[in-house]
Chain A
Amino acid sequence: MAAVDILKDVVNLLTKPWLFITLSSIVFFVALPRPSFWRPRLWLALGVGGAAFLAVSMLDPDFGLIVRKPDNVPIVAMLFLVGFFVWLSMYQAHQNDARIAAGQKPMEASEGEDQKTWVWPDLVYTELLCMVIGTIVLVAWGIAFQAPIEEPANPARTPNPSKAPWYFLGLQEMLVYYDPWLAGVVFPSLIIVGLMAIPYIDTNPKGNGYFTFRERRTEITFFLFGFLILWVLLVILGTFLRGPNWNFFGPYEYWDLHKLEALVNVNLSEYVWVKTLGTRLPSNMLVRELPGILLVLVYVGVLPGLLMRSDRVAGLPIGLKRFYDKMGFFRYSVFVMLLLGMVALPIKMILRWTANLKYIIAMPEIFFNI
């Protein structure tokens, strides 16, 4: 029994937001370019292991309570589906890369595949089969799980936690790090605009119509980081690991309404004026927040120009000169703004985890906090 408890404690620890997101990101960046990581057997083992982990964990009452909620069932399914399709695409991408490196065409254009075939019967029967299977799955699912209905709506009694619909929980998780005007309005808009801008920013003519990684290394890395880490992972975090008061609870932890979390987050202005200079906070709002304002101005105003000058900045390979050369001024400007917007989230996360930073600019007087 003790061994099981230790194991549970380890999992509870590993899923703490900072560790969970950091470890996932490391695995992501290590795995993506390495063909050996995408072998079918490894992923079969991962899938079976994941299912076994899920089945065994159901024995834990706290775990079962959350995972078995009818509305959370599709999210568990999504976890396995996303895993499967990420594997399928990356496996085929690396296979194609090997073929292209050997001077062959990608699989989609290989001998026989490039020939034409009849839509009737070949395609319409595939479609019919997909529809039949879809219907069977849906009906079985509908019979197995009743659609949930809770108590009648009561505006006077707020449930704790109050959660948005599951597909928006990534946004709700962002609220931990940014205020609603950013996490709920500006970032979602940027995501939509950013997605729409992709075909106009990405000028790489290669990799059109077939899976490949090597020919589109940067695009795929950016997109998948956004999709897998900043979206799917945060949805999972928000669904399964956030309990009352949006506090973190490990998968085997009881959702204790009275769990205490010390609020130790400090604004940048306090770091500068009080902790570094040893004075009181200036009474004028703009003077008080001057360090933060300057920092943000540098981030959006100076950094794009700095990154554009070379491929290495301060010894790190984070320069964007090669993109600027390819894209030209206008495309680069849009690209770099979207990129900085996307990276703003991990940056704030790291600042929060390491320095307890609350706001870079804190002007609650005019609802302007960053």
Chain B
Amino acid sequence: MATTTPTKPFLSRTWDYITDTQVWKSVFRHGMPNNSRNRVLVVFSNVFLHLHPVKIRKSGIRLKFTWCMGGLTFFLFLVETFTGLLLMFYYRPTVAYAYMDIIDLAEQVPLGVMRELHRWGAHAMVISVWLHMFRVFMTGSYKPPREFNWNVGVILLVLTLLLSFTGYLLPWDQLAIWAITVGSNMARATPLLGHEGPGAQLLALGDVPMVHAGSDARFALLGGRFVGEGALLRFYVLHCVGIPLVAGILMAVHFWRVRKDGGISGPV
């Protein structure tokens, strides 16, 4: 009669109760990942974690080797998606509204720091993607079998720059339109396809030029002869839908190929 079962502390009992409910068990199919079996299961059974292998070489997770710049770039992409989504609630991409919507965002929206996060996050993403490429180059990680994934990475780098470039126009202030004017003026000089590019004059039917200010590469980019209503809408659609979609698909390919090409690179 003298033996009493030692009662567990309250918190521990509560934890046991929660993890024993049907709701908990329907979400998590395994116990705490503190033994080998569960550490395998946690990676296998989680859609986000299953990008990873179950085990990884020690040097492959050391920050001094990896710098975490690729991961940081992806994280910043998610930050940009989230903050961008919130900004879309307030912003209308027309010449009449765009600028005032940005002013309202700063002055009327309580605790509004989303535009700051979005803009600084964009700058940070450009830098982190450069540093990621730099690390990959310096460790020779583009060498076989990872040649193709390096190429996907180069395209993602270009898309990152284009994402930032298209977003630059949206506040519709002096900085925005003139930066895009300077940037898109280059397209005017595209060989053959720009109306001030070498060779464009060759593309003419008799006296009628086929490539002129109203039909050249710059016009296609801006949807007009100058940075105006058409350019704003084009850049908005590309910035919010077009480029993120392509970048998202390529990111999936990029991460998939990291795994398929043997995981993070290391000495053989």
Q: Which residues of A contact B (CB under 8 A)?
A: 71, 74, 77-78, 81-82, 85-86, 88-89, 92-93, 105-109, 112-124, 126-127, 130-131, 134-135, 138-139, 141-143, 145-155, 157-159, 162-168, 171-172, 179-181, 183-186, 192, 195-196, 198-200, 202, 204-212, 216, 220, 223, 227, 366-368
Contacts and interface: CB of A to CB of B under 8 A. Distances in A.
A264 B1 CA distance: 108
23 contacts: A78-B127, A85-B135, A107-B59, A117-B58, A120-B43, A131-B75, A147-B106, A149-B99, A149-B103, A150-B174, A152-B173, A165-B179, A165-B183, A167-B126, A181-B189, A195-B154, A199-B143, A202-B142, A205-B143, A211-B65, A211-B138, A227-B134, A367-B196
B124 interface: yes
Interface stretch (B6-14, B20-28, B198-206): B198-206
Contact of B147 (A112, A126, A192, A200): A200
Contacts of A216: 140
A279 B107 CA distance: 68
Given A92-B65, A118-B55, A130-B68, 20 more contacts: A71-B175, A74-B124, A108-B266, A109-B59, A109-B266, A119-B54, A121-B39, A141-B120, A142-B117, A163-B179, A164-B179, A168-B165, A181-B198, A185-B197, A199-B147, A205-B144, A210-B267, A212-B140, A220-B138, A368-B198
A101 B102 CA distance: 59
B58 A116 contact: yes
A37 to B, nearest CB: 16
A167 B134 contact: no
Contacts, number: 269
B143 A208 contact: yes
A117 to B, nearest CB: 5
A199 B59 contact: no
B208 interface: no
B52 A123 contact: yes
A172 B165 CA distance: 14
Nearest to B121: A138
A127 B43 CA distance: 14
B227 interface: yes
Contact of B120 (A122, A138, A200): A138
A162 B201 contact: no
Interface of B: 33, 39, 42-43, 49, 52-59, 61-65, 67-68, 71-72, 75-76, 79, 95, 99, 102-103, 106, 113, 115-121, 123-124, 126-127, 130-131, 133-135, 137-144, 146-147, 150-151, 154, 157-158, 161, 164-165, 168, 171-179, 181-183, 185-191, 194, 196-201, 226-228, 265-268
Given A153-B172, A185-B190, A366-B198, A145 B116 contact: yes
Of A88, A119, A139, A145, which is in contact with the most chain B CB atoms at under 10 Å from its CB?
A: A119
A-B CB proximity, top 9 nearest: A184-B186, A142-B116, A180-B189, A199-B147, A74-B123, A181-B189, A368-B198, A209-B265, A109-B267
Given A117-B55, A142-B113, A151 B190 contact: no
A316 to B, nearest CB: 27
A195 B138 CA distance: 14
Contacts of B141: 208-209
A135 B179 CA distance: 28
